[in-house]
Amino acid sequence: MKGRIPNEILESLQARGISRFTPPQEAAIGAGMLQGGNVVVAAPTASGKTLIAELACINAIIAHRKKAVYIAPMRALVLEKFGEFRAAYPYLRTGVSIGDLDSGDRWLRDYDILFVSTEKFDSLLRHGIEWLSDIGCIVFDEVHMLGDPSRGPTLEVLITKLASMCGAQMVALSATVGNADEIARWLKAKLVVSNWRPVRLKKGVVHEGVAYCSREDGEENDVVQEALGGSSKIQEIRILEDTLSRSKQMLAFYSTKRNAEAGAVKLAETAEAVLTPEEKVRLNALSDTILNALERPTEQCTKLSGLVKRGIAFHHAGLVNAQRSAIEEAFRAGLVKAICSTTTLGLGVNLPAHTVLIRDISRYDSGANEMLGVNEVLQLFGRAGRPKYDKEGRAFIIANYKDRIPELYRTYINARPESVDSNLGVIPVLRTHMLAFIAGNFLNDTAAIERFLLRSFYGFQYNNERHIKNIVDEIVEDLMGFGFIEETGRGSYGATKVGARVSELYIDPLSARWMLNAMERKLDTVSTLYMICNTLEMRPYVRATAEAEEMYSAYRYINSDRSLFSEYERTGYGYYDPARAFSTALMLNDWIDEKREQDIVKKYHTTPGEIFSKLSNADWMIYSAIELAKLTRKPMHDMINVRVRIRYGIREELLDLVRLEQIGRVRARTLYVNGIRTVAELRDSRPAAERLLGKEVAKRVFDQFI
């Protein structure tokens, strides 16, 4: 085996104390992975799949002088893997790119191995990267995301594109997929399936302090009952008591952000009871970091900060990145004893615990309560057991009623992973990708597009030529009507200048058409914000407030003759609630009117994390609108100002001051209220600036005038 593995890899493994391969790793090598063959690996979390990817990537770089690309669905996962590889191979040129979707990032050609999100690499292909033929290995992490309605289609199109555009080796990794053999056949890959896990996993259903677990090495339906330590009558407290009595940590998963926060409050006293004096000191410092993550703490910041002092935290999309990262690091360090989270934490960064608890097995979605899928539960279970610290991990589901135990046990504990099905074959999903095919001169005629879709996972699974032809014809008609493509021959098409730019901007053609129509009218600030909010990319919208519903009706009535609102239904958005998009626009308007974050959170029933996510999306959409305005010679000065105001959260009078580095929302307002209202006035007011900003900040500001 040594002769088949480059010495650089062996040296790195030895330096990290890795002396032998796990069974899945041996199986992948045996399947011809180091000879460049495609491989699909389906194995439990912590079984060594990342090292399989590492072997394939580094072998391509060192043995074959090729590049490697590691693609993952979530930004946090991309960054995590980037950090791991860079530490293991510091002498390789390792790059990461997860941002700007309107860039070819030509600098990436200089790197040996790249870590990118699915959407980023798809965007790179749209911009025509020149180094595609230099790639020797492509890793698709979490390949079961093919079945995700939102992310799956882009992943599927990307894989299908790469299979036809370059001859790189493909390595697909998954922990939970019921039809791994089907994915392997589609990719023309060898399949590696393993149930091996470095830490034994005990799975069970808990009711009234008793865990009903599968007996190790027993029959599937052979159940053993184990009494949990502790005395609480509240089930999740009892499980935490038992976990802490073993000097271990717990991850608890809840269906909503509100439930996760309530769970942390409920468990706080139990976690606090085991803290040492030293841990309390360190947690107090962490608490201050959490509290001051924003310029002005919100109620959520205060609540989380107080809980962290007690050794517990909640974790969900409503937190800002700095808070999430701080909590994750404190948990890894053993300071935070339990995290109460929404299920998203189970699908992102690697954050294992000894005990995993699923408190809520259903969630409210699209007007109904739905049970969690088996694959999602198995993903959450996979977080149980830390290879360096635990000999076994535990994963529990709470049963609120005893008669639910058999059902939950049958559905999840004895479950087999569900099959992953393609979500590609629907018009809204394909519209964006078909424009990209045509704009990038990748596929320019309907017959070629149909053949491509038949090679996709959707085509592989369903092989429905008639359905594919009907979809292609309908989308071509739509794109022609939008003015984004034009016929160049019988059944052949090319992108217009606008269509090509829409594809590069990585926005939905329907969103682009809406914004172009909106620009035909004179837009005030609220109309501009509504223009960018009433797009697919800004969903989900915030809840419509009573004020928004009233203002929307009045605003539309007042502007009835020239308003962009009259285009709403005709643009295909009629089945959405326009008042929610308008409410989202009003939230952005409050932000640029310098309303306090805490007040915005309350008014729109949102969270700081969700506000900043919306601001990020809004920046992208107004940038896209400005780019389209340039191309179509529409007025854009006001949109540029609105973009700056969104970025900084400022009123119009502060636009001049924020042109300077170090001057943001708070410092600009401080200067303004003290009579320094322009950059020219600031240049002549150094003593006052030093008093208002502090000498260090003032020095950095005034250095820009030299």
Look at residues 129, 159, 193 and tell me which one is the last residue of a structural domain.
193
Which residue, of 464, 480, 504, is where some domain finishes?
504
For residue 427, the tally of other CB atoms under 10 A from its CB is: 13
Cα gap 124→119, rounded to integer Å: 9
**331 vs 214, higher pLDDT:** 331
Q: What is the pLDDT of residue 3?
A: 42
Residue 594 has pLDDT above 90, yes or no: yes
Q: Are residues 533 and 490 in the same domain?
A: no
The answer to whether the CB of 309 falls within 8 A of the CB of 284 is: yes
Q: What pLDDT, on a 0 to 100 scale, did the predictor assign at position 1? A: 44
Q: Is the pLDDT of residue 217 over 60?
A: no
Q: Give 74 or 312, the one with higher predicted confidence.
A: 312
Domain co-membership, 9 together with 36? yes
Round to whole Å and give the CA distance between 207 and 225: 10
Q: Which helix (H) or strand (E) holds 200?
A: strand 200-207
Enclosing H/E stretch for 266: helix 257-272
Task: Look up the CATH number of the domain holding residue 266.
Answer: 3.40.50.300
Q: How many helices (H) and strands (E) does the chain have?
A: 30, 19
C-alpha distances (whole Å) from 320 to each of 52, 82, 251, 298, 613 are 33, 21, 20, 11, 9
Number of domains, the chain: 5
147-152 CB contacts, 8 Å cutoff, 24+ apart: 147/375, 147/420, 147/421, 147/422, 147/423, 148/73, 148/423, 149/423, 151/73, 151/118, 152/422, 152/423, 152/424
Say if 422 falls within a structural domain: no
Report the chain's mean pLDDT, rounded to a whole number. Answer: 90
Digit-coded pLDDT (tens) for 168-196? 999 999 988 899 999 999 999 999 999 99
**Residues 147 and 271 grouped into a single domain:** no
pLDDT computed for residue 566 by the predictor: 52
In this prediction, residues 602-607 reach a mean pLDDT of 92
- pLDDT value for 284: 96
Do 367 and 299 have their domain in common?
yes
Position 562 scores a pLDDT of: 47
Choose from 91-100, 244-253, 362-371, 569-578 the range with maximum mean pLDDT.
244-253
- Whose tokens are 């370059």? That residue is 166
Question: Do 552 and 601 reside in the same domain of the chain?
Answer: yes
Is residue 421 in a domain?
no
At 102 the pLDDT is 65
In a domain, 164, yes or no: yes
Residues 484 and 543 in one domain: no
* Two tokens, residue 179: 């039809």
- Do 147 and 37 lie in one domain? The reply is yes
**Which residues are within 8 A (CB) of 26 and not within 5 positions of it... i.e. 6 or more apart?**
none
Phi and psi for 170 in degrees, rounded to 5?
Answer: -115, 130
If DSSP codes are grouped into helix, strand and coil, which group holds residue 562?
coil
The answer to whether residues 452 and 544 belong to one domain is: no
Percent of the chain whose pLDDT exceeds 90: 72
DSSP states along 90-142:
TTS-EEEE-S-SS---GGGGG-SEEEEEHHHHHHHHHTT-S-GGGEEEEEETT
What is Dmax (Cα atoms) for the chain? Answer: 82
pLDDT at 192: 97
Cβ-based burial of 522 (10 A; exposed 0-12, middle 13-18, buried ≥19): exposed
Nearest to 527 by CA among 538, 518, 514, 537: 518
> Regarding predicted confidence, which is higher, 99 or 455?
455
Residue 98 above 90 pLDDT? no
pLDDT digits (tens, 9 = 90+) for 504-533: 999 999 999 999 998 988 889 999 999 999
How far is residue 454 from each of residues 99, 158, 444, measured CA to CA in Å?
31, 14, 16
pLDDT digits (tens, 9 = 90+) for 416-467: 899 999 999 888 889 999 999 999 999 999 999 999 999 999 999 999 999 9
Q: Residue 32 is encoded by which pair of tokens?
A: 């011809």
pLDDT at 576 over 90: no
258, 607 contact by CB (below 8 A):
no
- Domain boundary among the residues 483, 504, 525 is at 504
Residue 668's domain is classified under what CATH number? 1.10.150
> Is residue 104 very low, low, confident or very high in pLDDT (cuts 50, 70, 90)?
low
Tell me the C-alpha distance between 113 and 60, whole Å. 10
Question: What are 661-701's pLDDT values in tens digits?
Answer: 999 888 999 999 999 999 999 999 999 999 999 999 999 99
pLDDT at residue 574 above 50?
no
Section 600-618 average pLDDT = 92
Q: What is the CATH number of the domain that holds 621?
A: 1.10.3380.30
Side chain identity, residue 286: L
Place of tokens 């959409």: 621
pLDDT of residue 4: 75
Could you tell me which residues are beta bridge partners of residue 487? 493
Q: Which domain holds residue 204?
A: 200-412
Shared domain for 617 and 689, answered yes or no, is no
Judged against a pLDDT cut of 50, whether residue 232 lies above it is answered with: yes
Global pTM reads 0.89
- Whether residue 98 lies inside any domain: the answer is yes
CB 124 within 8 A of CB 104: yes
The pLDDT score that the predictor gives to residue 346 is: 67
Buried b (16+ CB within 10 A) or exposed e, 653-674: ebbbbbebebbbbebbbebbee
> What is the rounded distance in angstroms from the CA atom of residue 348 to the CA atom of residue 141?
11
CB 75 within 8 A of CB 413: no
Q: Which residues contact 183 (CB under 8 A, 6 or more apart)?
A: 40, 143, 146, 172, 174, 177, 189, 420, 457
What pLDDT score was predicted for residue 236? Answer: 95
Which are the contacts of 49, defined by CB distance < 8 A and separation ≥ 6? Answer: 24, 41, 43, 141, 173, 175
Evaluate whether residue 645 is within a structural domain.
Answer: yes
Token output for 72: 């993952």
SS3 assignment, position 339: strand
Helix axes 49-64, 23-30, angle to 10 degrees: 40
Distances, alpha carbon 621 to alpha carbons 247, 321, 370, 498, in Å: 48, 21, 33, 16
Q: How far apart are alpha carbons 488 and 446 in whole angstroms?
A: 12
> Percentage of the chain surpassing pLDDT 70?
94
Question: Of how many residues is the chain composed?
Answer: 706
Say whether 173 sits in a helix, a strand or coil.
Answer: strand
Residues whose CB falls within 8 Å of the CB of residue 649, separated by 6 or more in sequence, listed in order: 591, 592, 594, 615, 665
Q: Around Cβ 173, how many Cβ atoms within 10 Å?
A: 24
Residues 314 and 329 in one domain: yes
The contacts of residue 388 (CB under 8 Å, 6+ apart) are none
Domain-located, residue 496: yes
Q: Residue 479 sits in a domain of what CATH number?
A: 1.10.10.10
Nearest to 264 by CA among 298, 306, 232: 306
- Provide the residue type at 119 as one letter: E
Task: Answer whether 207's CB lies under 8 Å from 405's CB.
Answer: yes
Is 417 within a domain? no
Q: Same structural domain for residues 596 and 469?
A: no
The one-letter amino acid at 425: G
pLDDT value for 76: 84
Q: Residue 247: pLDDT above 80?
A: yes
According to DSSP, residue 403 is labeled G
Q: Give the helix/strand (H/E) hosting 207.
A: strand 200-207
Say whether pLDDT at 38 is over 90.
yes
Residue 418 lies in a domain: no
Q: Which of 339-348, 470-479, 646-655 has the lowest mean pLDDT?
A: 339-348
**What are the tens digits of pLDDT across the range 334-370?**
999 999 999 877 666 678 899 999 999 988 765 567 8
Q: Are residues 682 and 620 in the same domain?
A: no
Whether 207 shows a pLDDT value over 70: the answer reads yes
pLDDT score of 317: 87
Whether pLDDT at 383 is above 70: yes
| pLDDT value, residue 451 | 96
* Residue 559 pLDDT > 70: no
pLDDT of residue 582: 92
C-beta separation of 138 from 171 below 8 A: yes
Please give the Cα distance from 406 to 416 (Å, whole number): 16
End-to-end Cα, the chain, rounded Å? 62
